[in-house]
Amino acid sequence: MRGKQIEGARFRRQHPIGPYIADFACLEPKIVVELDGSQHAQWTGYDAARTRFMNEAGFTVLRYWDNQVLTEIEAVLEDLWRVLAPHPSPPPQAGEGGPSG
C-alpha cells in the first residue's frame, strides 16, 4: 500500500477517524483497512461499533486477519484493487440486448 501502488490510492497509516484510529485509511475514496490479530476475537462488540461509526462517516471498512495478510497477500491485494477500481459491467450475453440478440 506504500507509494500509491494500488490504483494511485494514498493510504495513511494509523489515521484518526472520530474517536477511533484506523490501521490504514484512504481518504479518497474513503476506504479503511483494518488488520485484526487474535485479540480481535474477544473485541467483536468494540469492532462492530467502530465499523458502524466508520460506515456512518462514509467509509468502506475492509477487515483482514493478520495471518491472511502474511500468507495470502496476493488475494488481499486483489481484493483491495477490486474495491479501489471496480470493473465495468460485463458485456451483455447473447439474448440480453447485445449485437446478437
Q: Is the pLDDT at 64 greater than 90, yes or no?
A: yes
Q: Is the pLDDT at 32 greater than 90, yes or no?
A: yes
Of 79, 21, 30, the C-alpha closest to 59 is: 30
| Domains annotated on the chain, with CATH | 2-84 (3.40.960.10)
The pTM is what? 0.74
Residue 100 has a pLDDT of 45
Contact 64, 76 (CB under 8 A): yes
Residue matched to cell numbers 469492532: 47
Q: 43 or 47: whose pLDDT is higher?
A: 47
